[in-house]
Amino acid sequence: MTKIKKIPIILIIILFFSSCSEKIYNIDKAKINYSLSQKFENDFLIGAAINEDQILKKDEKSLSIVQKEHNTITPENSLKWMFIEPNPGNFNFDVSDKYVEYGLKNNMHIVGHALVWHSQLADYMNNVKDSTTMYYHIKNHINTLAGRYKGKINTWDVVNEALNEDGSLRQSVFFKTIGEGYIEEAFKLAEKADPKADLVYNDYNLCNSEKREGAINLVKNLQSKNIKINGVGIQAHWQLNTPSLEEIEKSIIAFSQLGLKVMFTELDISVLPNPWELEGAEINQNFKKFEGDAKMNPYPKALPDFMEEKLAKRYEDIFRLFLKHRDKISRITFWGVTDKHSWLNDWPIKGRTNYPLLFDRNYQSKKAYQSIFDLTK
């Protein structure tokens, strides 16, 4: 009698433990195999900007994050004019070739950043005074780059940051020499050089109403002339409180109503003080007078828990909105891999310790990562 009773009890115990180990096994498996790009694979691409050290494989720890978590890459600096064509017609493809090779090898969506941009331009370009010379340089630059990586670079930021904050066109050297037509010319040249690549207009502060209107006008102008443009890149160098979710949503809807893919191309969220109300990402702004000011760099050792929470909540809110509009958004790229390498440690004030990304200085995922990962659709 007692023997018969014991058998089912033992059986129940065995079954209980085997189901537990099954659960534990599954959780571990999820941790090992599951990544952000897999999680959002039916929603949008998930990317990172990678720097020269990463491209040259000098930072394997970052690369293992990139390979696991991302399915698209952008070169943080390596394809910019000052590095790739430092003298007229004198191209340096050493790093860019390796960048493209890395993307191809890992089956990633490869972004080219950026063909026509007033910052990080070669010196000779800033000294061009006439439209013929300027057009010649732009044509040669676009033909060479988009031609060399034809069928390999999937998306080009053709024109970067052409707008002022009020939505008018920036008085860049391109504008001063060629006039507003330089934007049309750049897109036409890019299409001709690689007809299959997606072509993007990219800028910061595109969730501010005046600048958003400026971008809409810029796109409509191209479309009215039947010039190909596939997407708008909202850079998304953001703060904890701005821009508001409402303004971000307005931009997603407005750009997608133009028939374009919406991309968040340079996402990072600064957690450091910004008392001068600086918004956006004009890289030539810097605030030397604040360098070394402890008030401007309140977390030099570590980010306190309450700030980690704030950052996680902000990322969660933003990604919830992205998911709501997953039919309109094609790509979300973070501007960097870990906090250690973020440009926001040195911009707009040099030498600060910022925490804008999903991975910390020890290459570990942060609460912000988890808050996005845990979102249900």
Whole-number minimum distance, CB 356 to ligand XIL, in Å?
11
Which of 65, 163, 281, 332 is close enough to bind ligand XIL by CB under 6 A? Answer: 281
Point out which residues pair with 31 in neighbouring strands.
none
Whole-number minimum distance, CB 62 to ligand XIL, in Å?
14
Asked whether position 160 contacts ligand XIL by CB under 6 A, the answer is yes
* Residue bearing tokens 């893919």: 261
Please report, for residues 151, 202, 232, 343, the alpha-carbon distance to residue 143 in angstroms, rounded to integers and kept in the order given: 13, 20, 22, 30
How far apart are the C-alpha atoms of 101 and 127, rounded to whole Å?
34
Residue list 326-345, contact with ligand XIL (CB under 6 A):
343
Q: Report how many residues bind ligand XIL under the rule CB under 6 A.
A: 8
Q: Which residue, 237 or 367, is less far from ligand XIL as judged by CB?
A: 237
Cβ neighbours of residue 263 closer than 8 Å, sequence gap 6 or more: 155, 200, 231, 232, 233, 234, 329, 330, 331, 332, 333
Q: Which residue, 262 or 281, is less far from ligand XIL as judged by CB?
A: 281
- Told to judge if 277 belongs to the known catalytic residues of this protein, a careful annotator would answer no
How far apart are the C-alpha atoms of 27 and 216, rounded to whole Å?
46
Residue list 219-248, contact with ligand XIL (CB under 6 A):
235
How far apart are the C-alpha atoms of 98 and 153, rounded to whole Å?
12
Asked whether position 283 contacts ligand XIL by CB under 6 A, the answer is yes
Asked whether position 77 contacts ligand XIL by CB under 6 A, the answer is yes
Taking residue 131's Cβ as centre, other Cβ atoms within 10 Å add up to: 16
Asked whether position 201 contacts ligand XIL by CB under 6 A, the answer is no
- Told to judge if 266 belongs to the known catalytic residues of this protein, a careful annotator would answer yes
Whole-number minimum distance, CB 280 to ligand XIL, in Å?
9
Whole-number minimum distance, CB 346 to ligand XIL, in Å?
7
Q: Which residue, 142 or 267, is less far from ligand XIL as judged by CB?
A: 267
Point out which residues pair with 9 in neighbouring strands.
none
> Angle, to 10 degrees, between the axis of helix 245-257 and the axis of helix 305-324?
30
Which of 44, 48, 73, 76 is close enough to bind ligand XIL by CB under 6 A? Answer: 76
Whole-number minimum distance, CB 59 to ligand XIL, in Å?
14
Q: What is the CA radius of gyration of the chain?
A: 23
Here the tokens at position 12 are 């129940």
SS3 for 323?
helix
Point out which residues pair with 332 in neighbouring strands.
46, 264
Which residue of the set 76, 185, 191, 266 is catalytic?
A: 266
Q: Nearest residue by C-beta to ligand XIL?
A: 343
Q: Which residue, 343 or 369, is less far from ligand XIL as judged by CB?
A: 343
In sequence order, which ranges of 209-362 are alpha helices (DSSP H)? Answer: 209-224, 245-257, 305-324
Active site residues: 161, 266
What are the residues binding ligand XIL (CB under 6 A)? 76-77, 160, 235, 266, 281, 283, 343
